[in-house]
Amino acid sequence: MAQTLQIGRFHELEVIELVRGGVLLGAAGRELFLPSHLAPTGVAIGHWIKVFIYADREGAPQATTRAPAAALGDIAYLPCVSVTRAGAYLSWGVPKDLYVPPDEQQTPLVEGNSYVAVVCLDRAGERLIASTCLHRHFDYAVEQVDPNDEVDLLVYGHIDAGVQVVVDQRHRGLIHQADVHRPLATGAELRGYVRQIREDNRLDIVLTRPGAGGIQDAREVILRALKQAGGSLPLHDHSSPQEISRALGISKKAFKRGAGSLYKAKRIVIHDESISLADS
C-alpha cells in the first residue's frame, strides 16, 4: 500500500525510473523528480532513498536529500534572509525559504538577524511556514518528563526571572537567574537537567548534574581552569559568587563541593586566598 506523503517529513522513496538529469521517485501515486547531484552515487531502479519533502511556490511536493535545519514541528535558530510587506523569510537549508506571516512574528523580523522559530503548517494545513510565537506551539503535556531528566536545550529568550529555553524541541523551560553562571546567548544549544515541574507545566532547568555527577563536573571545571592559569587561581571559600561565576562559569556551591572533593583527593591545595594544583 502506498505511503501517505507528508510535507515537512522525511520519507524513504523508491527509485522507479532513471531520467535525464536525475531520477524519479514513487510517492503516494505520484512521481517526484530528484536531480542527479542530490542522488546517491550508483543509484539504480529499485533503490530506496531517504528524502525530505517540502512544497514549491505552487504547493507541489518536492524531494531533496539535503537535511533541513528543522522538520515539521521542530524548533531551530534560523537566519532571516528577506523581509517584505507580506511577511519574512527564513533560511533553513532547503531551496524554498520558510515564510513567516506577520501574525506569526512575536516581534517584527529584521533581515540579517536570526530567530528561534518553529516549523509548522499554515491554517489550511497545506503549506509549511515558520512562527516565532513559540508559546502557541509548545507541548504543555509533560507527563513523560521527570525531575533530574537530562534534556536538550535551545535558548530562545531572556527575562528578568532568567533564561527561557526550549526543552527537547517540545516544552518551555526556564533557567532561573540564580542558576545562570555564564553568558547564554539566544540560539545557544546546550544540555541541562530538569529541576522540577511547575504547576503551570513549565520546567525549571539547571545546567549542573544532580548529586555525584555535579561534583565530578565541578572538579573537571576547576582542574581545567587551574591548568590553563598555570596552576593557581585566586579563588577561595570567601570569594563572592560573582567572582567564581566569572572565573569558572559555575555557582559558588558547586565550586565549594568540587574544591572540597579535589582537596580530599589531594589533587589541590587550599590556601587562604587561592587554590593551587598539588603538584604545581
CB atoms within 10 A of CB 143: 7
Specify the CATH architecture of the domain 75-136.
Beta Barrel (2.40)
Per DSSP bridges, beta strands 203-206 and 171-176 are: parallel
pLDDT at res. 77: 97
- Taking only the tens of pLDDT, the chain with its 280 residues reads 445 788 899 999 999 999 999 999 998 788 999 999 999 999 999 999 999 999 888 778 899 999 999 999 999 999 999 999 999 999 999 888 999 999 999 999 999 999 999 999 988 777 899 999 999 999 999 988 998 899 999 999 999 999 999 999 999 999 999 889 889 999 999 999 999 999 888 899 998 887 777 788 888 888 888 888 888 888 888 888 888 888 888 888 888 888 888 888 888 888 888 888 887 5
CATH class as words, domain 10-64: mainly beta
Query: Would the CATH topology of 10-64 be identical to that of 75-136?
Result: yes
CATH of the domain spanning 211-277: 1.10.10.10
Residue 71 to residue 7: CA distance in whole angstroms: 9
Cα 137 to Cα 120: distance, rounded to the nearest angstrom: 9
Report the alpha-carbon distance of residue 141 to residue 146 in Å, rounded. Answer: 12
pLDDT at 280: 56
CATH number of 150-206: 2.40.50.140
Q: Are 165 and 196 in contact (CB under 8 A)?
A: no
Find how far residue 264's CA is from the centre of its chain: 38
Domain ranges in the chain? 10-64, 75-136, 150-206, 211-277
pLDDT of 1 reads 40
Give the number of other CB atoms < 10 A from CB of residue 230: 10
